[in-house]
Amino acid sequence: MGASGSRVVFCHGLFGQGRNWTQVGRALTDRHRVLLVDLPNHGRSAWTERVDYLDMADAVAGLLDPADPVALVGHSMGGKVAMALALRHPALVERLCVVDVAPVSYPSMSTFAGYVRAMRAVDLDALTSREDADAALREAVPDPVVRGFLLQNLRRERRPGGGDGWRWQMNLQALGDQLEALRQFPAEQLAQAEPFAGPTAWVAGEHSDYVLPEHEETMRGWFPRTRLVTVKGAGHWVHSEQPEVFQAVLRRFLGD
């Protein structure tokens, strides 16, 4: 999106896809070229056997050009991908915006494991509509906003033998089996990387517990030019819960 200006690349979170950033990305096209990435095992991207932050970072790096370094924006899992990319391929990244995640290992992925179990339990062959899937998820995923987010991954398609069927677009098997890898940050593999020298915006939701005071020393160790911004009234999904505030923060960071 966008015909001119500096390039801004967005990485989504777990179970997401590039189009989750459409509203924010479209708002920037007056001054920027915008790329919304589907990370491996999500959206329209290829499935892989291994789910790994360095693999994902390298996949996104393959879309970039050192002659045209980008502003890289990532939320949650995508934020960890963005941090790994900036540390591993610093020539590709001019500046970094990390949204509601820290370069640390989190204690639990149980909520996300519950989402995986719920989606796997949906009888895709019995579905006649998206509303059926919503009803099937309701008990395990009572929040309608979260259900709607997960159901963006449900696709209707023509079956080889005729008739329509349903499938999950993301690689539920690999993601569910390897949540432990996503809980962590690949600090050991990145131990030889130099700290990222570019400016870094660290955007946290006021009501989220993904960015805590005890994370700050680690964050500034990797990204010494970090500026922390806390968005009032937002939880983990900062850019969707407070889109106008987030866009203003991002524009200011981009120098608009």
Distances (CA, A) of 142 to 14, 108, 114, 122, 147: 19, 20, 12, 15, 8
| pLDDT level of residue 139 (50, 70, 90 thresholds) | very high
Average pLDDT (210-226) is: 97
Is the pLDDT reported for residue 153 higher than 70? yes
With beta carbons less than 8 A apart as the criterion, state whether 119 and 137 touch. yes
Q: Is residue 86 predicted with pLDDT exceeding 90?
A: yes
For residues 70 and 237, the model is more confident at 70
Structural domains of the chain sorted by starting position, each given as residue range(s) with its CATH number in brackets: 6-106+184-254 (3.40.50.1820), 110-177 (no CATH)
How far is it, in rounded angstroms, from Cα 242 to Cα 230?
Answer: 11
pLDDT of 164 reads 76
pLDDT for the residue 145: 86
Please report which confidence band the pLDDT of residue 5 belongs to, taking 50, 70 and 90 as the band edges.
Answer: confident
Distances (CA, A) of 182 to 13, 46, 94, 112: 11, 18, 25, 10
Q: Using pLDDT thresholds of 50, 70 and 90, give the confidence band for residue 112.
A: very high
Mean pLDDT of 48-52: 95
Give the pLDDT band (50/70/90) at residue 160: low
What mean pLDDT do residues 23-34 have? 94
Which of 60-64, 84-88, 124-128 is predicted with the least confidence, judged by mean pLDDT? 124-128
* pLDDT higher than threshold 90 for residue 109: no
Is residue 187 pLDDT above 70, yes or no? yes
Confidence category of residue 135, pLDDT binned at 50, 70, 90 = very high
